[in-house]
Amino acid sequence: MNILFMAQCYAPEDVSAAVLITELAADLVRRGHHVTVVTGAPNYPQGRVFKGYRNKFYAVETLSGVRVIRTWSYISPSKKFWPRLFHYGTYSATSFYGGLFAGRPDVIVSYSPPLPLGLSAWLLSRIFRIPWLLQLEDLYPDAAIAAGVMTNRKVIGFFVGMEKFLYRNSQRISVISKSFQRTLLAKGIPNSKIEIIPVWADPDEVRPMKKQNAIRREYGLGDKFVVMYAGNIGLTSCLEDVLHAAEILRGQEDIQFVIVGEGARKESLTAEMQTRQLTNILFLPFQPRETFPELLAAADVSLVTLNAGASLSSMPSKIFNVMASARPILAVTPPGSEIMQIVEEADCGWNVPPGSPEKLAEAIIQLKDRESALIQMGHNGRAYLEKNYSRNHCVDAYEKMLTTLYNRTQLKAAHAGESL
């Protein structure tokens, strides 16, 4: 099968959710499929083009057997709304000619965000007369509204209209969680059109390792009780609670908070940390993928956070990497959220509601003295991941979904030919 992916980020050095499309494409190639990815010049998270690349009108390379077509887009380090929107918009537009130059595939898959990318995918599917799958990693514009990024009523109305158009015209919609499915059903999308395939972690790549390691030595963590957050420092990450909890616990010299990543809120959070003189918080940039498993292993407990407004429109993929590392999860998430349900079902950690830094601080103090329970919760999470959210398990489901979509289209075309 010849598959065309359209995704904003794709590079060996990618971080965050972009790793998933990189792994998926490479795995499908190993299974005998021909895969092309139309993307932009790699620049996430700093908003600067990676060394060795240029932001060209059109460029082609091959990575792990995947043909990668890169098209031009506006790239800026600014985290403000309009520069980011212009970046998404220009890539979404230029990806159209990238898809045209790629040649006719058997099926198209476009990722959202960015939402406008779906328009290019829809148009290509019409030109090539092939099925189009819309892959939802976040629900837009819901996630942008929940984060307070999108407030203008006319802009919201424009994107709501675009969302309805894309949902109506895609042949299949793949979502990463049950909460996404419920939201789409509430929007009137038929259940027969929706497929749930969760994000995943690779248990062979992220694996249990010793806590006392090079990461602890490099950053002077020693024997401290390390509470770690590793991921996007975005507008929905609810890390204000973590700063407040650190302030409450500033007298506990054996507790150290470590926040690893980049994002729109990092600058303001680091400024607040300095203003409050919180020496028990360490901010680090995104770490290289080859040291990522060791980074996660350096934690005693890992944070997975999401504010109340975003619990139905976002799903942090970091939860699965934490489970793969066999570390317990301390989830700051609304009651009833899917994160809370996963943590409870896997018995791999604890939940604290957002907006309650006192409860978060109390939970950390209690956990610090429960080493055997922490170890067991970590093992539970790892076992649950291997059964339900491993890379191989999820790629199997994705391949089956794409094959079914292609076969149904072929069968329908054959029947149409017979009727003529």
pLDDT in tens, 182-197: 999 999 999 999 999 9
- Kindly state the helix (H) or strand (E) to which residue 108 belongs, with its residue range: strand 107-112
CA distance 270 to 324: 29
Mean pLDDT of 78-97: 89
Strands 194-196 and 66-71: unpaired
| Domain 2-200+390-419 and domain 214-388 have a common topology | yes
Max Cα separation, the chain? 80
Q: Starting from the edge strand earliest in sequence, which strands make up the sheet with 132-136, in order?
A: 58-63, 66-71, 34-40, 2-6, 107-112, 132-136, 172-175, 194-196
- The percent of residues in the chain predicted with pLDDT above 70, rounded, is 97
Q: How big is the chain by its Cα radius of gyration, in Å?
A: 22
pLDDT of the residue at 148: 81
Mean pLDDT calculated for residue range 243-259: 96
Selecting from 3.40.50.2000, 3.50.50.60, 3.40.50.1000, 3.30.300.20, what CATH number does the domain 2-200+390-419 have? 3.40.50.2000
Q: Class of the 214-388 domain?
A: alpha beta
What is the pLDDT, as a whole number, of residue 357?
96
Q: How far apart are CA 5 and CA 408, in angstroms?
A: 19
pLDDT of 17: 59
Instruction: Give yes or no for residue 278 having a pLDDT over 90.
Output: yes
Reference 177, options 339, 333, 398; nearest CA is 339
The predicted pLDDT at position 324 comes to: 96
Residue 41 structure tokens: 């010049």
Here the tokens at position 5 are 């992916």
Q: Is the pLDDT of residue 146 over 90?
A: no
* % of residues, the chain, pLDDT over 90: 72
CA count, 13 A, side-chain hemisphere, 101: 17
Domain residue ranges in the chain: 2-200+390-419, 214-388
At residue 147 the predicted structure's pLDDT band, cuts being 50, 70 and 90, is: confident
Overall pTM surpassing 0.85 (yes/no): yes
Cα 124 → chain centroid: 25
Averaged pLDDT for residues 94-117 = 96
Q: Which two tokens stand for residue 384?
A: 């649950």
Residue 271 tokens read as: 């400024």
Predicted pLDDT at 151: 87
pLDDT tens for each residue of 316-359 = 888 999 999 999 999 999 888 899 999 999 999 999 999 999 99
Whether a cis peptide bond, with omega within 30° of 0, leads into 288 is no
Residue 77 pLDDT: 86
Q: Which backbone phi and psi does 291 adopt, to 5 degrees?
A: -105, 0
Q: Where are the beta strands (DSSP E) in 313-419?
A: 329-332, 349-352
Amino acid at 208: P
Pairing relation of β-strands 132-136 and 172-175? parallel
